[in-house]
Amino acid sequence: MRQREFNLVTTSNSEIVLQVRARGRRVLRNPVANRGTAFTHEQRAELALSGLLPSEVSTLDEQVRRTYAQYSRSPSPLAKYIYLSQLRDRNEVLFYRVLSEHLEEMLPIVYTPTIGEAIERFSHEYVGQRGLFLSIDHPELVEQSLINYELDGDDVDLVVVTDSEGILGIGDQGIGGIQIALGKLGVYTAAAGIHPRRAVPIVLDVGTDNLGLLHSGVYLGERHARVRGPRYDEFIDEFVTAVKRQFPHAMLHWEDFGAGNAHRILHRYSDQVCTFNDDIQGTAAVVLAAVLAAVRLTGVPLAQHRVVIYGAGTAGVGIADIIRESMVRAGLDADDCYQPFYAFNRRGLIVEDSRGVRDFQRPYARTRAEVDGWQVANPHAITLQEVVEAAQPTILIGTSAQTGAFSRPVVTAMAAGCERPIILPLSNPTSRSEANPADLLEWTDGRALIATGSPYGTIRHDGVYHTIAQANNALIFPGLGLGVSVVRARRVSDEMIHAAAAALAGLVNEYRPGASLLPAMSDLRLVAAAVALAVARTAEEQGLARTPMTDPINDIYQRMWKPEYPRLEVLPVEDE
C-alpha cells in the first residue's frame, strides 16, 4: 500500500510530529506541512526547498504580524474572508495562529455574519475547497467518499454536516453550505483546540429549491429541486451508517437543516450515534445560560417565570425545550411543564386549532378555552402585544428575524408587569434583530436584562454602562465537542447539554450593575475548557464515556491543540 506523503502522529507524551515523505514544491503546496519562510535552512536542505523561498528565516510570530497587516488591508468583510480562506489552504498553522490571536475581531468574518455572503457567493468564488460533497444522486459513493478523505477511524473526533436548507437567515443555499461546516470547524479549532485534522466538514447535496442557483450558469451543485420524503430519509440513513462505520468515535454535528427535518433527524439518531444539532441544542444551551444568570438577578425562581418564544422554529422550540426541562428540574410539576410558555409562528400565537403548526411546535399550543377570555382583535391571529398584556410574561425571547418586533408598546407593557424583564432579541444580523438594546434600556428605565444574537458592546444608560451579552453558539459548541472527544462519549445526553449551560452561566459575575449575562467572546478558550470539563464529567457520571479521565483538568488542557509548527520528521522518499 502506498504510504502517505504527510502524516501527523502523536507520541506517548502528547507531542504532535509531522512525518514528511514529499519533497520540493509538493511540501509548499500542502497546508499541513507548509510553513513558508519559517522553514529553517536545515529543513530546506532536507526537503529540497533551497531556492524556493526567500533567504530570511521568519519566526511564527513574525509571520503572524505580517499576515495580520495584509488581512487588515483587505477592503471589505468578504475580501477578508477570502484572504483568510486562502491562508488556511496555504498554511494551516499560520491561519489558526492568526485566528486565535484575533478571535474576537475575526469571528464575525469566519463565522456569522460574513460567512453568509461567502455561502451565497460559493460557486462564483470557487477556487478549490476542503470538505466532502455527497450527492443524493450517487448514494453508492457515500462510503467511498469518506474513505477518500484519508482519515482513519481513530483520527476523527468531529463530523460537521449540513444539507444547506436553513442557512443562517438566508435559507436554501445548495452546496454553498459547505462554508458553514468549515466555519464551524474553524471555531472548534480556534476556541477549543480541536485539531483541524481530526474533523471532517460535509455538505449533503440533495438539490436546491433556490431558483437563483438553479438558473445560475456557475452553480456547482446538483441541478434539480430539493429531494424530500422517503428518498431523502434513505440518503440520510445511508450517510449516518457510513459515518458510524468509518468514524466510530466521532460526534456527528448537524448544522442548518430545515425546520421540517432538524428535530426529526436529531430525535431519530440521538439514541444510535453520538449526535448534536447546534441550531437546536447549542442555541438552547447558550440562551439557557443567559436566562439562568438573569434569573439569579431577578430573585424569582426559574419555575415561576413565564416565557414568550417569538419565532417557534428550530431554534425557538429548542430554547423552549431546554428552559422547560430546567423548570422541571427546579421544581415545576411535570404535568404543568408547558403551561409557562407562549409560542408564536408566522400566524401569531400558537393555539390548539391554529393552522400550519408543525409536530414539534404542537406541545406548546395554548388551549382555545384559555385565549377565548382574552381581549383580542382576531382570535385566530393573536399578536405579541395582546399576549404580553394578557399573560404578563417575565422572559421575552426573539428568534423570528422580524425587525423591531419588540416594539415600545410591547416592551413597556412587559415592564409594567415585572421588575426586571428578561429580554433576548436573538435574531441575526443586527438588521433583523427584534429590538435594539439601547431602546430596551430606555423603555424599561434601565431595568431590562438583555442578551442579543449580534454583538452590541457596551451601552451607557443613566450613568450605568451596560455590557450587552452576545448569545453566540460559539460559547457552547466548541467546549461540548472537546468534552465529548476527550472521553469519547457514546451519546450526547440532555444532561450533558444542561451541564454545558450551567458551566457557562457559572463563569458569569453578573452582580456588577450593567454586567454582561454571558462571558465575553474574547474568553472563548477559557469558556471552552470549562464547558468541556462539565460535559466530560457528566458523560462519565452517566456511564457514556468510553475513555474515562484520569486527571480531568490536565486531560482537557493537553487535548487543546495550540497552533504551533510541529516537529518535523523527514522520512525517505518512497520508491516509485
- Secondary structure (H, E, C), 359-392: CCCHHHCECHHHHCCCCCCCCCCCCHHHHHHHHC
Q: What is the Cα gyration radius of the chain?
A: 25
In this structure, what are the phi and psi dihedrals at residue 271, rounded to the nearest 5 degrees?
-95, 0
Mean pLDDT value of segment 326-346: 91
pLDDT tens, position by position, 446-475: 999 999 998 888 999 999 999 999 999 999
**Best CA proximity match to 162, nearest among 194, 196, 119, 223:** 119
Start-end of H helices in 280-407:
283-298, 314-329, 368-371, 384-391
Using alpha carbons, select from 200, 66, 55 the residue that is nearest to residue 142: 200
Alpha-carbon span 89 to 108, nearest angstrom: 20
Catalytic residues: 111, 184
Residue 497 has pLDDT above 60, yes or no: yes
Work out whether strand 6-10 and strand 16-20 pair parallel, antiparallel, or are unpaired: antiparallel
What 3-state class would DSSP assign to 561?
coil
CA distances from 180 to 98, 129, 269, 444, 539 (A): 20, 13, 22, 37, 28
Decide if pLDDT at 551 tops 60: yes
Query: How far is residue 87's CA from residue 127's CA, in Å, rounded to a whole number?
Result: 13
Give the pLDDT confidence of 510-548 residue by residue, as tens digits: 678 899 999 998 899 999 999 999 999 999 999 999 999
List, for residues 58-91, the tens digit of each pLDDT value.
999 999 999 999 999 999 999 999 999 999 999 9
CA 405 to each of CA 235, 399, 420, 431, 529: distance values in angstroms, whole numbers, following the listed order:
39, 10, 20, 12, 36
Residues 6+ apart with CB under 8 A from 224: 207, 214
Strand partners, 202: 132, 161
Bond into 429 cis (ω within 30): yes
Position 169 confidence tier, pLDDT thresholds 50, 70, 90: low
For residues 479-499, average pLDDT: 97
**Rounded Cα–Cα distance for residues 278 and 237 (Å):** 20
Cell numbers placing 448:
431590562
Residue 276's DSSP bridge partners are 253
Count of CB atoms situated within 10 Å of the CB of 62:
13
Q: How confident is the model at residue 336 (pLDDT cuts 50, 70, 90)?
A: confident
**442 has pLDDT over 50:** yes
Q: Which three cell numbers stand for residue 532?
A: 468541556
**What pLDDT, in 10s, does the model give residues 36-59?**
999 999 999 999 999 999 999 999
Which residue has 460567512 as its cell numbers?
A: 115
CA distances from 259 to 424, 425, 557 (A): 21, 20, 36
The CATH class given to the 103-257 domain equals: alpha beta
Q: Which three cell numbers stand for residue 505?
A: 452561566
What's 547's DSSP letter?
S
Q: List, in sequence order, every residue forming a beta bridge with 395; answer none if it has no partner.
A: 307, 422
Beta pairing, strands 464-467 & 458-461:
antiparallel
Question: What DSSP character marks residue 279?
Answer: I
pLDDT in tens, 172-193: 999 999 999 999 999 999 999 9
What whole-number distance in Å separates Cα of residue 115 and Cα of residue 428? 12
Q: Per-residue pLDDT for 2 more than 90?
A: no
Residue length, the chain? 576
Q: How confident is the model at residue 198, as a pLDDT?
A: 94
- The pLDDT of residue 576 is above 60: no
Cα atoms in the Cβ-side hemisphere of radius 13 Å centred on 129: 23
The set of residues, in sequence order, having a beta carbon less than 8 Å from that of 456 and lying 6+ positions away, is: 430, 436, 437, 468, 470
Largest CA distance in the chain: 84
For the stretch 344-356, what's the b/e string if a residue is b when 16 or more beta carbons lie within 10 angstroms of its beta carbon?
bbeebbbbeebee
Residue 281 pLDDT exceeds 80: yes
Helix (H) or strand (E) holding 457: none
* CATH topology identical between 103-257 and 281-471: yes
Q: Mind listing the pLDDT tens digit for each residue in 213-268?
A: 999 999 999 999 999 999 999 999 999 999 999 999 999 999 999 988 999 999 99
| Alpha carbons 249 and 163: distance in angstroms, whole number | 22
How far apart CA 17 and CA 564 sit, in angstroms, is 11
Q: What distance in Å separates the CA atoms of residue 298 and residue 288, rounded to the nearest whole number?
A: 15
| 574 pLDDT more than 80 | no
Q: Which fold has domain 281-471?
A: Rossmann fold (3.40.50)
Kind of pairing, strands 458-461 and 16-20? unpaired
Under 8 Å between Cβ of 203 and 179:
no
pLDDT at 428: 81
pLDDT at 50: 95
The average confidence (pLDDT) of the chain is 93
CA–CA dist 493, 203 (Å, integer): 25
Instruction: State how far Cα 566 lies from the chain centre.
Output: 28
Domain spans, the chain: 103-257, 281-471, 477-559
Residues in CB range of 389: below 8 A, 6 or more apart: 375, 413
Tell me what the mean pLDDT of segment 90-112 comes to: 93
What pLDDT is stored for residue 1 in this prediction? Answer: 43
Cα 284 to Cα 315: distance, rounded to the nearest angstrom: 7
